[in-house]
Amino acid sequence: MEYEFRVAGQNHIGFGQESIKYLLTPEGPPSGPPTNISHHFQTPDVVCVTWDIPLREHRNGQITHYDIEFHKKVDHTSVTDRNTTQTKVKESLQRSIHVTYSVQLCAVVGFCLCGLGDIITCFSEILLRN
């Protein structure tokens, strides 16, 4: 992110000429998760998950998209990955009254190609039971 600083001296005559400095700070992975995560079932097998962007102090740059994973809580091999720029996603789930799903949600700054281990602090997890 780029910041602009302007400084001018002042005395009994008035203000002097402004000095302008620009400072560019690097973006980094969010240090906090998306907030206010909630869900509701639109039908017995379609869930809608919504969330708010991470708190300002945890964004560390412009949030470009969100990565979201749906998987059965007991079976991490059946993972559905989604990528969205919205703060809402709908997903069809296998219909069963005894299945609990885990949803992991991550906000992403820029187009980082880092692995989950690098950005794990920005994940939130919720459990869905239909």
pLDDT tens for 4-57 read 999 999 999 999 999 999 987 777 888 888 888 888 888 877 888 888 888 888
35-129, CATH topology level: Immunoglobulin-like (2.60.40)
* Residue closest to 82 by CA, chosen among 71, 74, 96: 71
Pairing between β-strand 19-24 and β-strand 2-7 as defined by DSSP bridges: antiparallel
Higher-confidence residue: 69 or 129?
A: 69
Task: Please state the pTM of the whole predicted model.
Answer: 0.63
Give the pLDDT of residue 14. 93
Q: Rounded to 5 degrees, what angle do the CA atoms 128, 126, 110 make?
A: 125
Domain boundaries, the chain: 35-129
pLDDT at 113 over 50: no
> CA 5 to CA 51: how far, in whole Å?
34
Give the pLDDT of residue 114. 41
